[in-house]
Structure 1
Amino acid sequence: MGSNSEAVVHPYEMKPAFHAIKVREYALLLSAALLLSSLLIGFVLPRPAEGATQTATQTVTQTASPTITPTVTPTTQVKRFHLYATDGEVKLADGKRLYIWGYSLKNEPGTAILPSPTLTVNEGDKVEVTLTNIGPLGSHIKKLAHTIHFHGLDTDQANDGVPHTSQAILPGESFTYRFTATHAGTYFYHCHVDTIEHLQMGMHGAFIVRAKGGAPEDWTGGPRYDKDYVFLLNEIDPIWHEAVEKGETYDRTDYHPRYWTINGKSYPDTESDPATMVEGRVGDSILIRLINSGYDTHSIHMHGEHFQVIASDGRPLPAPLTKDTIEIAPGERYDILVKLTQSGHFPIHSHNIKDNTNDGLYPGGMHTMMMVSPALSDRVVNLTNGKKTAIIDGKSKPIAAAPFLQGKELYVPIRLLQEEVRFGMRQGAKAGEVVLTLKANELKLTAGSKNAVYNGKKAALTSPVQLLRGTTFVPLSVAVKYMGVKLVSSSAAEWRLKLPQLPPSPSTFPVKAPTTAEVGPADTTQAEPTTSGTDHTMHDEHGTKVTISATGFSVKELHVKAGTTVTWVNGDKQGHTVTDLDGRFNSKTIPATRSWSYTFKDVGTYTYYCSVHPTMQAIVIVDPA
């Protein structure tokens, strides 16, 4: 075979294993015998007493991980991420400082970012997200439990991130969440401990599941896009943040945001953020993933174009809905696809009055821009049958191989098309196969074959691709149908073509993952869970026992003498902690009906709280003996 630098590969061949029919028969007989034996044994052996299974289950619940690990082989590939729960600070658009909580990629207190890192996987990936609670950098700040809830991903209970039904991750602890990304779509993740406060403090980030294999489709087999953007919408009440930082109480029904953000930024900072300001060319299809991770409803309006709403909450809509404004409620996600038809600079913003301000001043808030450049110019190419010269945009240019006519079909050298159309091209997995990337579309062609694959689906060609003397030639009919080439005019031996420019779209480039992301064999180990439990209360006439209920500690201010041992008894149905604000003692999780004791040796005032439910707070005042 002649050499072909464009398409020749050496495919890996694997021969299937075959078993003799007799071996199969013996295996079936053996299986039947084992099944019959197990049934007979079930009738003969004594059964455990009622309640024995329940007791064993309770023991396992307290000592082993509640996570149900997927059945995987050691060679199964998974996507791994490691996040660290901590605090940090950001600068708002008007220059003011804001104290936040969040998830960081660094094992370093004080490095939280707003919003938290975007995690991206593909449909079908097994996912492992390890959360380590490293606590805050700031002093005199409560060291609270945290979790991750994957909003909309429908994980099992053990991986749901709700502290009283799965596990709370206390300071110094780690836990690995495991699940399979079954549906391509737009999701987000957030802390579900004291959700109202933790979410407002900044503990949220986007979670994107791309189509199988990372194809630039909104869902597997769905609409293709040239670029995609994530708009994580939120709002900030600085009074809440200041109160948390200072350890002060505040009214959670008194919620008055002063800043509105897209990806943690308000206008004009949105225009200097490449992840928030949309850029494209006429002819591009832009996918915008809208996520409302806040508590306000927003009305998002686009100037210059109508868009199609194609998916909601991680699922495709039965039919697209054409709009220019969409209202998105708290927790909702919408995927909107816009086909750019005109160049210019067009705002994208909320149509709510307050959303466009920064601390009461206009303009600001939830406002960014869509910058659309003119389309790339078409190339006009004149070709002559059997001639190694082409006229391109009026200028003569030598070409490596001459086009030729076979029957009624003109064959054009693929290298000429690649140079002028500017599509991507690489060798395929099979001998003689080439893979073309035409903006966001993929076309697989094989020399000598009328069979092609376009965007993952089989396609029939009217004429086969040809490989002659190491050069691949494409029928003009293929270039017209799949590359957008137009036949302007033709004669017996000359053709005038108009070629669009179709360079590979950014959506076809590999996704840049957070620096802690890994792909590797599945890890079958699991972090130890935090134990949780159930609830009842007790009291002691000497006042050295404190009962923990669902809403607080039974003694808000306990006076004891130095040397006294105080016992806390958990009477609630879920776990709680007794954690000193200054870090002098920490019970970790006290399961339901269990107790924990601490001896106060030093005189002073001790403020303590539950790290899972931080509104539960009390003090112990220790007097001299």
Structure 2
Amino acid sequence: MISFKNRALWAAVASAIVAAVIAVAITRAADRPSGNDAQAAEETAVAQQSGTTTGEVKSFHLYATDGYLTLPGGESVYVWGYSLNNEQGTAVYPAPTLEVNEGDQVEVTLTNIGPAKTGIKRLAHTIHFHGLDVDQANDGVPETSQALLVGDSFTYRFTATHAGTYFYHCHVDTVEHLQMGMHGAFIVNAKDGVKTAWTGGPAYDKEYVMELNEIDPVWHKAVENGEPYDRTIFHPTYFTINGKAFPDTGGDPTTEITGDVGDHILVRLINAGYQPHSMHLHGHHFEVIASDGRPLEQRLDKDTIEIAPGERYDLLITFTQSGTYPFHSHTITDNMNNGVYPGGIHTMVDIAPADDANAVGVKKIGMKLDQPSATIDGKAAPMNVAPRAVDNTAYVPLNFIVQQLGGEVTPSETDGSIIYANDKTSIQMWSDRDLVVIDGRASARKTPLIDDQGIMLIALPFVSDMLGAGAKADYDAKSGDITIAAVPVALPVAKGMAGMDHGDHSDGGEVSSPDVSGIVVSMKDMLFAPVELKVKVGDTVTWVNDDPVVHSLADLGGAFDSGSIPPGGTWSYTFKDQVTYDYYCSIHPLMTGKLIVE
């Protein structure tokens, strides 16, 4: 039996031992990084032993907040997302694409700055890197790793070990946060950024990242208003590629695929939504070369592929013939905007004949962003204004291009547009309208012109339209280099807008140019606007096709029929009888209108 005296002695000894252990622990803790830093140090040590730290450290900082997305027809929906700006309300849909190289050490810091909108819940957020095999601490699942409340920050760290196509999204209440817009592409290129699908894989000339999704505005409106909604009822009415739906996909460099015959195009498909989509390409087959970030042992030759929620496929397309071809979902309901066809997951592939930029007579122009000088076939030439970049698009001085490569520019006296023309083409452009008319065919594309104190700068993609299919106009956003190569063109033959039809199409009706006045009905976003119109006997009404597709209009009773009205075209009719007309587009029968003659 231990006496009281001995027990006191043993207690003193035990206390000394515990104190010593605590002191050692405190010393070791002081020398060891804490939290995520400790995990990062351990990863670095392991990586150094395995020899995988040859890549660069790539760091990004994202901010979780809210914003708005505009859909075709002008509808705006409230979204949550990630932003590169430390400012509430600046979320973009989809989130910014993050791009690294195989072997890079990746650091992505997320700061939850909360929504700009008041009166709604201020929720936690995370980032889950979908398809990247990161450890538990960096997995972004709140049940197993850290959830970030408003005001919190966390840095996710991992090594990009496999080149491929991935994406990232919030994993807090994923059902809601993913639909609200918290998702973006994550691309791991081959080592050193070589333009191959993976290290040692097939080479490509251009690549496109296409993130597919669908939107149920009812969910977004409920979240915006802080109201409950039934999550078992999901009824999307908009379907998007990179946050855009047709016709807004046209002319957008992220969604409209362009190239020359012989080019190899890598398309990275990501399904960030809740429903499968079946992507079909016209005019070509493609090779399915990778799935979910891993090369396929056996490539598949297909023209249609179904991609399930969360899946990614890499497609390699070799352009074998020139022309313009649709690339769209063959899930039929995906091709509508709020029930209006065509729309949704649909874009175009524009393929020019084989590159002849090295042919005899080609003139080569070199420019650089923000520098008012150029080179013409290697010789220096001054410019009166420097090229600039707006929304990732390069703009160059129009008069300088015309001076070097031919054609002429004439201002319109009626609507503030300008007309560029040469012996093969005529292009009408505005600095305040998202419209361009090329040989009588209109495209609803981003504004092609910027007016810089009377000097016009033209968006670089339109230079190829001006100078023909053989022209090359390239822009490297990283270096700021701009290169244009084309055979100079001749002055125009005396003519009006090329290809514009002024002939009669029915009794009292006429197709004409887009310069109109008086009573006007617009055909835009697959709708007549206004839908209902009252006029008087003797009035003339002009319908203007502001869509990038052909329309028509016909009276249900057979009183008039316009025939086909091309994009940018118009059709006029003078009403002589006191009648109510119900009319429709023969090509898009959901487009209906009413005209009341009083």
What is the root-mean-square deviation of aligned Cα atoms in Å? Answer: 3.2
1:264 equivalent in alignment to 2:279: no
1:238 equivalent in alignment to 2:217: yes
Contact persistence 1:260–1:358 (CA under 8 A) = yes
Equivalent position of 2:332 in the other structure: 353
Contact persistence 1:292–1:328 (CA under 8 A) = yes
Structural mapping, 1:363-402, within 5 Å: 363-377=342-356
Q: What is the Cα deviation at residue 141 of structure 1?
A: 1.3
Q: Distance in 1 between matches of 2:36 and 2:340?
A: 50
Q: What is the Cα deviation at residue 64 of structure 1?
A: 4.0
Q: What is the Cα deviation at residue 77 of structure 1?
A: 3.6
Give 3-state SS (helix, strand or coil) of 1:196's partner: helix
1:217 equivalent in alignment to 2:196: yes
Q: Distance in 2 between matches of 1:509 and 1:111?
A: 23
Q: Distance in 2 between matches of 1:138 and 1:178?
A: 31
Structural mapping, 1:267-286, within 5 Å: 267-286=246-265
Contact persistence 2:54–2:103 (CA under 8 A) = no
- TM-score, scaled relative to structure 2: 0.54
Equivalent position of 2:44 in the other structure: 71
Equivalent position of 1:153 in the other structure: 132
**Residue number among 164, 172, 184 corresponding to 2:143 in the alignment:** 164
Contact persistence 1:227–1:506 (CA under 8 A) = no
Contact persistence 2:166–2:293 (CA under 8 A) = yes
Give 3-state SS (helix, strand or coil) of 2:249's partner: helix
Equivalent position of 1:196 in the other structure: 175
Distance 1:66 1:105, change over 3 A: closer
Equivalent position of 2:63 in the other structure: 84
Equivalent position of 1:176 in the other structure: 155
**Residue number among 222, 229, 238 corresponding to 2:208 in the alignment:** 229
Contact persistence 1:226–1:506 (CA under 8 A) = no
Q: What is the Cα deviation at residue 359 of structure 1?
A: 0.7
Contact persistence 2:357–2:471 (CA under 8 A) = no
Contact persistence 2:55–2:102 (CA under 8 A) = no
Q: What is the Cα deviation at residue 507 of structure 1?
A: 11
Equivalent position of 2:14 in the other structure: none
Structural mapping, 1:299-310, within 5 Å: 299-310=278-289
Equivalent position of 1:450 in the other structure: none
Q: What is the Cα deviation at residue 377 of structure 1?
A: 3.2
Deviations 1:475-501, CA, capped at 9 Å, x for gaps: xxxxxxxxxxxxxxxxxxxxxxxxxxx
Distance 1:71 1:369, change over 3 A: same
Q: Which runs of 5+ in 1 are unaligned?
A: 1-47, 381-391, 396-418, 421-501, 513-625
Query: Considering only CA atoms, is the larger Rg found in Structure 1 or Structure 2?
Result: 1
Deviations 1:146-193, CA, capped at 9 Å, x for gaps: 000000011110000001101001100100000000000000000000
Contact persistence 1:210–1:219 (CA under 8 A) = yes
Give 3-state SS (helix, strand or coil) of 1:108's partner: coil
Q: Distance in 1 between matches of 2:213 and 2:298?
A: 28
Q: Distance in 2 between matches of 1:289 and 1:506?
A: 21
Structural mapping, 1:211-610, within 5 Å: 211-377=190-356, 510=478
1:106 equivalent in alignment to 2:85: yes
Contact persistence 1:226–1:507 (CA under 8 A) = no
Q: Distance in 1 between matches of 2:172 and 2:299?
A: 36
Deviations 1:62-100, CA, capped at 9 Å, x for gaps: x94156103269998410000000000011112111000
Contact persistence 2:262–2:320 (CA under 8 A) = yes
Contact persistence 2:60–2:108 (CA under 8 A) = yes
Deviations 1:215-273, CA, capped at 9 Å, x for gaps: 00000000000000000000000010011111111111111101000000101101131
State the AA in 2 paired with 1:71: T
Distance 1:306 1:250, change over 3 A: same
Percent identity of paired positions between Structure 1 and Structure 2? 63
The number of residue pairs the alignment matches comes to: 343
Distance 1:162 1:376, change over 3 A: same
Deviations 1:358-402, CA, capped at 9 Å, x for gaps: 11111110000000011123868xxxxxxxxxxx68x9xxxxxxx
Equivalent position of 2:451 in the other structure: none
Contact persistence 1:87–1:100 (CA under 8 A) = yes
State the AA in 2 paired with 1:162: V
State the AA in 1 paired with 2:109: T
Q: Distance in 2 between matches of 1:134 and 1:293?
A: 24
Q: What is the Cα deviation at residue 197 of structure 1?
A: 0.3
Contact persistence 1:215–1:508 (CA under 8 A) = no
